[in-house]
Structure 1
Amino acid sequence: MKKENSFSKKFLFISRWGEILDTAYATLLEGNDVKLYIEDKPSREIGTGFVKKTKDWKKQVDWADVIIFDYTGYGAICSELRAKGKLVIGGSEYTDLLELDRSFGQDELKKHKIKTLPFKEFVSFQDAITYVQNNPDAYVIKPSGETQELKQLLFVGSDDEGLDVIRVLKAYDKSWGDDFGNFQLQKKVKGVEISVAAFFNGKEFLRPLNITFEHKKLFPKELGVSTGEMGSSMFWVNNSPIFDATLKKFESTLAKTNFVGHIDINCIVNGNGIYPLEFTSRFGYPQIFIQRAGINEPIGQLLYKIASRETFKINTKKGFQVGAFIVVPPFPYEDKKAFELFSKDAVVVFRKDLKEGIHPMHLKKINDEWLITGNTGIALLVSGTGLTMKDAQKMMNNRISNIIVNNGYYRTDIGDRWFEDSDKLWSWGLL
Structure 2
Amino acid sequence: MDSKNFLFCSLDEPLLGDLAWQVHREGHGVNYYVESDTEGDVADGFVPKTDDWRAELDWADVIIFDDIWVDGELGTGEIAEELRADGHAVVGGTPATDRLEDDRGYAMEVLEDHGVETLPHREFTDFESGIDHVRENPGPYVVKPLGEVQNVKRLLYVGRERDGGDVIDVLRAYQKSWGERMKGFQLQRRVEGVEVAVCGFFDGNQFVEPVNVNFEHKKLFPGNIGPSTGEMGTSMFWTQRNRLFEETLGRLEGWLADEGYVGSIDVNCIVDDRGVYPLEFTPRFGYPTIVLQEEGMESPTGEFFAALARGENPDLSVHRGYQVAVRVCVPPFPFDDEKTFDENSRNAAVVFENPEETAGVHIEDTKNVEGQWRVAGTSGIVLVVTGKGQTVREAQSQAYRRVENVVIPNCYYRDDIGDRWVEADGDKLQAWGYLGGA
With structure 1 as the length reference, what TM-score do the two structures score?
0.97
CA gap 1:127/1:189 in 2 versus in 1, 3 angstroms: same
C-alpha displacement at 1:343, in angstroms?
0.3
> Which range is displaced more, 408-417 or 161-170?
161-170
Match for residue 150 of structure 2? 148
Match for residue 432 of structure 2? 428
| Partner secondary structure for residue 344 of structure 1 | coil
Give ranges in structure 2 of 5+ residues lacking alignment.
69-74
Match for residue 382 of structure 1? 385
Give runs of aligned pairs for residues 256-295 of structure 1, distance below 5 A.
256-295=258-297
Q: What is the aligned counterpart of 2:412 among 406, 409, 413?
A: 409
With structure 2 as the length reference, what TM-score do the two structures score?
0.96
CA distance in 1, matches of 2:300, 2:17: 16
Q: Is 1:31 aligned to residue 34 of structure 2?
A: no
Match for residue 163 of structure 2? 161
Amino acid in structure 1 at the alignment position of 2:388: T
Match for residue 14 of structure 1? 9
| Partner secondary structure for residue 336 of structure 2 | coil
> Which range is displaced more, 124-133 or 377-386?
124-133
Q: Is 1:357 aligned to residue 353 of structure 2?
A: no
Amino acid in structure 2 at the alignment position of 1:129: I
The answer to whether the 8 A contact 2:149-2:181 is kept is no
| Partner secondary structure for residue 208 of structure 2 | coil
CA distance in 2, matches of 1:165, 1:373: 36
> Which range is displaced more, 169-178 or 111-120?
169-178
CA distance in 1, matches of 2:434, 2:152: 31
**Matched positions, count:** 426
C-alpha displacement at 1:177, in angstroms?
2.2
C-alpha displacement at 1:313, in angstroms?
3.3
Give ranges in structure 1 of 5+ residues lacking alignment.
1-5
Q: Percent identity?
A: 46
CA distance in 1, matches of 2:122, 2:76: 28
1:35-75 deviation digits (Å, cap 9, x = unpaired): 10112221111011111111110101011010000111301
CA distance in 1, matches of 2:233, 2:199: 16
| Partner secondary structure for residue 116 of structure 1 | coil
| Partner secondary structure for residue 176 of structure 2 | helix
Q: Is 1:212 aligned to residue 207 of structure 2?
A: no
Match for residue 202 of structure 1? 204
CA distance in 2, matches of 1:312, 1:290: 19
CA gap 1:412/1:221 in 2 versus in 1, 3 angstroms: same
CA distance in 2, matches of 1:312, 1:152: 37
After TM superposition, where is structure 1 displaced by more than 2 Å over at least 4 residues in a row? none
Give runs of aligned pairs for residues 49-88 of structure 1, distance below 5 A.
49-72=45-68, 73-88=75-90
The answer to whether the 8 A contact 1:151-1:228 is kept is yes
C-alpha displacement at 1:179, in angstroms?
2.7
Give runs of aligned pairs for residues 167-206 of structure 1, distance below 5 A.
167-206=169-208
The answer to whether the 8 A contact 2:147-2:182 is kept is no
> Which range is displaced more, 33-42 or 59-68?
33-42
Match for residue 3 of structure 1? none
Match for residue 343 of structure 1? 345
Amino acid in structure 1 at the alignment position of 2:5: K
Amino acid in structure 2 at the alignment position of 1:192: V
CA distance in 1, matches of 2:354, 2:218: 30
RMSD: 0.9
The answer to whether the 8 A contact 1:262-1:281 is kept is yes
